[in-house]
Structure 1
Amino acid sequence: MSNKVEISPEQVREYLLNNPTFLETFVTSTQISNESFQRWSWRRDSHKIRKSASSSAISSTNLLDEPRDILLSAYKTRNGILYEMASACARLANCEKFELLVPGREGEESVCVMKEETGALKLRKARKHRRDPGFILPLIDPTEKKLGEIRFFGVINDRDRIFLGLFEKWASACVYFSQLYRRHEAKSNGAHPPTTPSPSPEDVEFIARQRKLNAFLLEVVRSLFQDIERTEVLISKVLQFAQKLVDADRASLFFVDHRTNELYSRIFDSGLEGNANVSISTDGLKEFRFPMGKGIAGHVATSGEGVNIANAYEDDRFNSDIDSKTGYHTTTILCMPIFVRKWYVLFLIFKTKDYPSFLGLNQRRQKNVMGVMQMVNKKGGGPYTQVDEEAFETFAVYCGLALHHAKLYDKIRRSEIKHRVAMEVLSYHGVCNSDEVNKLKKSVPQAESLQLLENFDFNAYSLSAVEKPLYAVYMFDTLFREKFQYPHDDLIRFVLTVRKNYRVVPYHNWSHGWTVAHCSFVTLRKTHIFSLIEEIALYIACLCHDLDHRGKNNAYMKSMSTPLAMIYSTSVMEHHHFNQTVTILQQEGHNILQSLTREQYKECLSLMKHFILATDLALFFKNKDRMKDILTEGSFEWDRKDHRSLAQALLMTSCDLVASAKPWSIQTDTVKVIFQEFYDQGDAEKKNGASPIPMMDREKAAEMPDLQVGFLQGICLVCFDLISQVLPATTQLLDRSKQNLGKWKQLAAESKSKQLLIEVEATKKSADDNNEENEAH
């Protein structure tokens, strides 16, 4: 017979308390029926309610009796009924924190109904909470109209949700029938029953308060953004507006320095936080700095949450040493953060592709805090109210935008100043000096050279470094001296500065720019079809068309992802050349177009851009195809704008290619420097792991004559042929290039013969070596 062990209830209770996991596993197992589990849960919650009611001296009868009396006395106030209903629901569910939201007027967002200590109801804008409510109870009247919703910030179990749902239906019906009764009362008294419920006193107060706040904010925006370029004035105004908004005695604004994890202030009113250090900023202004985690302002900056302190001396974060030093007594403090708005942060995140920042945005809210505003001692006594907090939150949006853009403006202004300083330095080194101007003014052109200057065959290499700018000035004077007014010293400075802004590269240098300008000079002297503005634009464009050329073509610029290629998507270097031209014209003492009218000046710049962009051979192929079609049809007309523009572009390309139409001795010297520049680019491409085209491969120099034949036939002769048909005065360019083509073909044939002979000799030598080797074996 087995012995039975007696276990007392106390032993069981002690075991279960020491082994909660066992109890949880047993209670939630399938051995316990759903009915038993629900019954136990019901009994537990009922016990909690009874205990809560007992501890607060409220009996279960009073739990419903007291709200019933309030509901009956407040039947005329809808929001009052709804609030008491929400309060009763929260007590029924034993939830300490709840919120009642009701629809705003005229389609506005929902507003929150709150009750002050005096018992008066207030309306405020619904606030966003850091955590979502545990349960939302919608309030729907019998006509399916939504009266509002109750948000419970706590755990609500299933049983309480059923009770709350039942209670809500009866209470919502109560609100609905109270509205009907009010209309009946109004009709019985002879008044016209309102079609819509009249606003409650708190509605009227809320609307009036919002209108007052809106008017205040309008004044804030108008005033702040007028002074956005003066940061110190803006900060002073922000402080004044903040004091006025919440009726504060004093206000302080601290900025957050995330780099050093400090708060700093350039304008300080009172109550400087502990551990402050006075320092001098980079712009020479005094700053008060202290660690970001210290004091009330530091706490707000770190947490991103505002604080409303009714008694500063009871808060451990408050530093009373400042009051001791200044004699000022701090009582109440409202300290609120000022954010860089989230949309701007998201923009920066996506711009920099810092997606982890996006994922952790809410967890790192303090990163968005740009400053902290601290208001001290509300005038008239008393603490800062929730209405003050809400008003400041709205104010902080405009305040943050104004301060943020003021900072951006200050950075832009400083960058602009630095840019101007850099431009002054560059202009000193990139603009001609007075000695160069005086030296050129004393120089006189040679009569023999002037006579040769009127012909396309003129050799620019025959001129010295001083003579080229001298003759460039002479050509401009010859073309335009009698046609429009310009300061002659400005013309000299302009030409000398253009020369200075050509880089020292083998081909696309100042000599090439001068040669192209000379070709336009000869063309304009031989023709009279262009207007004054067209002639000015053509000559200046030719002289400046390769300014600051780096000896590399557009394809290289794009393949190497150079800064210029990032600025311009097409015609990279040509756009840069035009911008450099405009930059020189805008330099003091260089604007040779100053006497033109506004319209003439705009037209001249537009034509200069058109001419310079035409030097991009990628555009030439489209232009020549269009001109071929027009000439084949026999429909070309100078009076047609599109035909004239096409002819201008082809003339500019012809001037740029004029080296191919020079006498043979000049042509061969020019080709040597052209290919020297090509080979330099090819070497750079090889160094970067790219394979250059044959024209730029130094190892294929033997193919140069053949490449020149292809260049002359495919581009130069085609261009000269088309332009000679619309401008017969340029026929010499076509004739001379044909002569050069014949000589290049001869050189190409000789080169091929030599190459063939070399290959034959190499083959013969190889065969002889093989025979000798075989005989040796």
Structure 2
Amino acid sequence: MDIITRFASSFAGLWRNRRRPQNEDAFNNRIQSNHDPEITAHQVKKYLQANPDFLDGFVMDEIQLEQLERWMIRKTQRTRKVTQTEKNGRKTSLSRWKFCVHADKRQMLQDLIHSLQLRPTKMHVLWELANCICSAVNADGFRLYLTDATEAESLHLCLSNSFIDENGDPKPLQIKSDAVLPNYVAKVRENLRLSRGDVDHRFPRDLLDRSEMAHVMCQPIVYPDGSLVAVLELWRRDCGAPFYEEDEEIGCSYLVWGGIAIHYAHLNLVGLKQRKLNDFLLAVVKSIFQDMVSMEMLVSKIMNFAQRLVDADRASLFLVDSKSKELYATIFDVGCDSKATKTENETDPSKAPNEIRFPLGTGIAGQVALTGEVLNIVDAYADPRFNRSIDQLTGYKTESILCMPIFIRGSVIGVVQMVNKRTGCFNKEDEEAFEMFAVYCGLALHHAKLYDKIRRSEQKYRVALEVLSYHNTCTDAEVEQCLEVGIPQKIPGVDSYDFSPFDIDDHQKALYSVFMFKDLFGLGRFDQNSIIRFTLTVKKNYRRVPYHNWTHGFSVANTMYSIIKNCGAVFRPNEVSKRIVLHKQMKIMKTSKSKLLLLLSSPINDTTYDPFTTSHSMSYMIQR
């Protein structure tokens, strides 16, 4: 019994001071150092195999829960084989997750789901996940580095610390120069553990000497396709223990489940951007086909939405003048503090105001218009194509630029330029969303130009039609010809219903019309030359069509003449008013004047359907 007591005491002391498994010789040396040369490692192993109940009781009474967890993780790693199936690998992963008891996994998942409902952004989910891992491994603090890959071969890391933006999300800051470990992890996509004083040829020996971090663990956060999302850096002070392999496993366990939340947060963000884009396209279609806004209004809408789409501080849109080979803009530099900045030509007031012009190939926008290629510039002042004179004049500092051409039918018709992304630099997602947006911008601008041309052509057509209507009158020679021939004193059969207008020519029809007017109303109140000129003008304005021609108009007038001649005062003013245009005036006219209007409206009605023209022509003849 004495030996069992001594064995238990030695065994407990051994495992309290032991971190990692060692070989049998080292184990024997440690037992001998405890002043008990009679007990060997072989005896301990044999005794434990023969007394499993003793081992169970010892573990339950003496071993801490944290140590049991570490044993479980090491056991699963040691027994895992390279050739094991995917099913077995999943069981191993779930087994590690099951025995990871540093934090409540269920609570962590509930917190992530709640965060997605409140603020479904990738940044916020990453921040919450980093907080959970930091608490699970008992780290003193953490730093979250987000990737912002503006180019395929380079990574731009942004530091997120305890800074909160207006949306409640961590605010990315420019990466510090001492972020050596996160940069390395972002490059190799592997976990990294390092303590102060460790010898590692990949890093400077005094890397951690100048900071409060004594122990550091970095883990990459990647999508299922292998693309890097962020790098998590956990650290402990001098008073804390180093990070071990089981800490890595705990972090990986959280990242497996948290990665699902990150993935759906990303999908939600993409869906929100697509919904905004669809709303804008609907607004553009409504503006073009319903509101019929001007080109300046459409350009202003495009610039404002493009600014919100990529979170830019300034936006500009330049159109291409293919005749002069220039870019021009009447509205540009739309910002958060003003709707648009317009230029005014102070040197020459006669020139068109509110417009700037510069040749193709000048500046960033000119290069994009000339080559048709997208330009994403991280540092504008480091690019020789950037024109600094505008910044010097305005006092505004340009840092990053995203410039996109607008195509229609394979030709560049404009350039949209975004300046200074508010959070970091313009990335690949901004380029893809902006490229899709530019396609619809091209369609909108193209249809707006077509509508503007149609509207201008319609205005010209209306002016020409009015000029033609008011100035297409008969000539003096035609009036003189009628006076020379003379108005017939009597025309046999003209008041009969079977009178045929096809038996006389067009010139005789005009003379017969003047005769019918003279026969009904006389010339006491009317001028004969005015009647002749009016009749010839009506004849001249008739179109050369099969039906509504001058013969048809004369036939209708002759029919009205025959009705009036044969029926006398049968028709009342209200009855004849349905046939003429000025029916409102007929209510106050006498029967004789009603007959006059009835006769005059018959030939005029087919020359034009414009009520103003008809009433004007008739009032020209009526003596007021």
Q: TM-score w.r.t. structure 2 length?
A: 0.40
Higher strand share: 2
More helix per residue: 1 or 2?
Answer: 1
Q: Radius of gyration: which is bigger?
A: 2
TM-score by length of 1: 0.33
